[in-house]
Amino acid sequence: MTHTPKPQPHPMTMEAEQAQIEEFLREFLASKVELAVGLADGLAAIPQEGWSEAIQGMAPLMLASGEEPFSVAEFLVLASVGRRARHLQDPAAVDLDDPATQEVGRQLSEVWTCIDARAMARAQEVAS
């Protein structure tokens, strides 16, 4: 009886790996922009003088659903990005080399870094 060697997967080429990473980044950015557009659209339906109260009123709902609530400043940054970057909701429209797209990514990253840090601190507080 002969033993047939198990086929080994072919290692991914550097180009294929780079393409896969870029596709992930496009889809990730598009999903965050989609959320920001939703926030911008929601704010557009509220008179400006009611924004702070509406944003703060969302906090208990977000906490109840397991999400870290946005601060008013974070919400306003996200809504601003949503208004300016609506076209980036489609991953095919995301040009990772475009400076304007990179700026959108930087702003979103800054907001989510703050949100994630608060979520981690809250989790540690609950755990202790």
The model's pLDDT over 83-103, given as tens digits with 9 standing for 90+, comes to 999 999 999 999 999 999 999
DSSP 1: -
Q: Dig out the tokens for 5 from the structure.
A: 């060697």
pLDDT, tens digit, 9 for 90 and up, residues 12-41: 788 889 999 999 999 999 999 999 999 999
Amino acid (one-letter) located at 105: G
CA–CA distances in Å: residue 65 to residues 21, 74, 76, 118: 30, 19, 21, 16
Phi-psi region at 46: left, alpha or beta (left = phi > 0; alpha = psi -120 to 50): beta
